[in-house]
């Protein structure tokens, strides 16, 4: 397998986590990092072993030695930064939510297709061994037809008007930051097109959702989803079918444990699959594998599900009357 030369755009907290995983992947080479402040890029490069540091995103995008770029900037910048990299022939792994809306994502996907490039949302949850184990149980019919999914992602985050989470111009709000995970879980299991989307939100004076509740109704059942910054929840996930159920442990998006039960609640199997590094290594390995095999999208994180989730979130925000300034 050819080693993939990686660049990172953005040097915030999530970029640090990604770089730690990158350093432990044999198929990946940390090659370049870019920040709007050159000193930050140099410090990042020194800490994580990147050979080049740039003081602009444009410089990294134009570096012909870079095979893949990880976009770790705020959500409001994902579209612009991804398009910059695609225009310059770079394969892209973009943090979630991958864009502010489905219209932006469709343009990103169209350009990637036109250029013959690999593009993937950094939905690390879907590449983790625990998630794959859960999907195997479901696909093998161990719990029968899935009738109900309950998945929450609620963290208590003290209000801070300077934090990107609470700023509409940065793509803030709980839905795109947290809700994307349980909605992705539901769409991956029950389908991309729910028959009905019912949602409610607590919108603050700055125009972003502090908390929300989303119900996706399908012909065979429904998914109940809550996300928000105002309370802390258990944040596990329950997937129930007519023959049994699956419980994914606390922080289902990064959990290493899942339990399979029969319809009477008796435990049938317990899966515990600890991370090799910090959990981000699996999306890196999947990206590198796909690139080496000449694919333009991952079968684990297909474009169809990424787009379906954005369409669902668009519908929720329309119902709440919530628009980002860039959309007005």
Residues taking part in catalysis: 96
Going through the chain in order, the beta strands assigned E by DSSP cover: 4-9, 28-34, 52-54, 68-71, 91-94, 119-121, 146-154, 196-203, 209-218, 221-228, 237-241, 244-248, 257-262, 267-272
d(CA 136, CA 244): 14
d(CA 179, CA 224): 11
d(CA 242, CA 262): 9
| Helices 303-320 & 180-190 angle (0-180, nearest 10) | 120
Picking from 47, 61, 52, 48, the residue whose alpha carbon sits closest to that of residue 9 is: 61
């Amino acid at each position: 397998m050819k080693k993939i030369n990686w660049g990172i755009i953005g040097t915030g907290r999530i970029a640090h986590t990604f770089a730690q995983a990158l350093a432990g992947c044999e198929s990946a080479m940390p090659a370049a990092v870019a920040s709007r402040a050159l000193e930050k890029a140099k410090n990042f490069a020194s800490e994580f072993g990147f050979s080049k540091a740039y003081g602009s995103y444009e410089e990294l995008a134009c570096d012909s030695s870079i095979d893949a770029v990880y976009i770790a900037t705020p959500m409001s910048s994902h579209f612009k930064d991804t398009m910059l990299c695609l225009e310059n022939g770079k394969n892209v792994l973009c943090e979630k939510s991958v864009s502010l809306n489905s219209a932006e994502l469709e343009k990103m996907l169209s350009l990637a297709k036109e250029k013959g490039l690999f593009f993937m949302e950094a939905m690390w949850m879907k590449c983790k061994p625990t998630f794959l184990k859960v999907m195997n149980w479901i696909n093998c019919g161990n719990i029968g037809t899935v009738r109900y999914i309950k998945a929450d992602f609620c963290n208590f985050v003290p209000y801070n008007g300077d934090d990107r989470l609470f700023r509409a111009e940065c793509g803030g709000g709980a839905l795109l930051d947290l809700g994307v995970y349980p909605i992705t879980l539901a769409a991956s299991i029950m389908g991309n097109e729910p028959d009905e989307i019912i949602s409610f939100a607590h919108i603050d004076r700055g125009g972003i959702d502090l908390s929300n509740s989303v119900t996706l109704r399908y012909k065979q059942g429904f998914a109940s989803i809550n996300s928000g910054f105002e309370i802390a929840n258990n944040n596990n996930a329950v997937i129930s079918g007519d023959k049994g159920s699956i419980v994914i442990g606390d922080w289902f998006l990064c959990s290493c444990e899942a339990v399979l039960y029969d319809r009477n609640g008796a435990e049938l199997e317990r899966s515990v699959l600890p991370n090799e590094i910090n959990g981000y290594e699996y999306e890196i390995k999947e990206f590198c594998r796909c690139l080496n095999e000449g694919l333009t999208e991952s079968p684990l994180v297909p474009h169809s599900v990424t787009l379906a989730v954005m369409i669902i979130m668009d519908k929720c925000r329309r119902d709440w009357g919530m628009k980002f300034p860039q959309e007005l």
